[in-house]
Amino acid sequence: MTAFDHEKLDVYQISLEFVATAGEIIDQFLAGRHNLADQLDRAALSVVLNIAEGAGEFSRAEKARFYRMAKRSATECAAVLDVCRVRKFVDGKRLEAGREILVRVVSMLIRMIHSLEAGAGRTAKPESANPVPPG
């Protein structure tokens, strides 16, 4: 069976692991926490979906843009886990497992973004604002 480009990425597969972990965390929420459950679910899905969209792009700049959106969504997930921890909504071990997955995902995305931007010349030094006139 032929795989889509995104399915070949380790970061995509690990992000899918987080979607499953997020589902387990959400299942532990007490009634009345629907807004936080929805926020975590949407942010976790956003990570996976933006990675897939980025992998499907041809432009390096567009790939990097989608991977940056995935990274932002992953950090949003981490913030939701922090809220769950301080409010004691969920078992700490499960939160830590989710956090460890997110640290891996964010680290991988940062490396991918830097690689794409370096290849596109985005890290090159800008020309001097005050060039010396020819003489």
| Segment 69-101, tens digit of pLDDT | 999 999 999 999 999 999 999 989 999 999 999
Which tens digits make up the pLDDT trace of 12-41?
Answer: 999 999 999 999 999 998 877 889 999 999
Six-digit token pair at 118? 């370096």
Report, as an integer, the average pLDDT of 36-52. Answer: 97
End-to-end CA distance of the chain: 65
Measured between alpha carbons, how far is 125 from 128 in angstroms, rounded to an integer? 9
Average pLDDT over the chain reads 90
pLDDT at 129 over 70: no
Measured between alpha carbons, how far is 112 from 91 in angstroms, rounded to an integer? 32
pLDDT at 1 (0 to 100): 82
pLDDT at 62 (0 to 100): 97
Identify the band that residue 131 occupies on the pLDDT scale cut at 50, 70 and 90.
very low
* pTM flag (> 0.95): no
Question: DSSP assignment, residue 68?
Answer: H
pLDDT at 127 over 70: no
* Contact (Cβ atoms closer than 8 angstroms) between residue 24 and residue 89: no
**Interacting residues of 17 by C-beta distance below 8 A, sequence separation 6+:** 101
Six-digit token pair at 10? 């380790």
- Token pair 């969920």 is found at 90
Considering only residues 31 and 104, tell me which one the structure prediction assigns the higher pLDDT. 104
pLDDT at 134 over 90: no
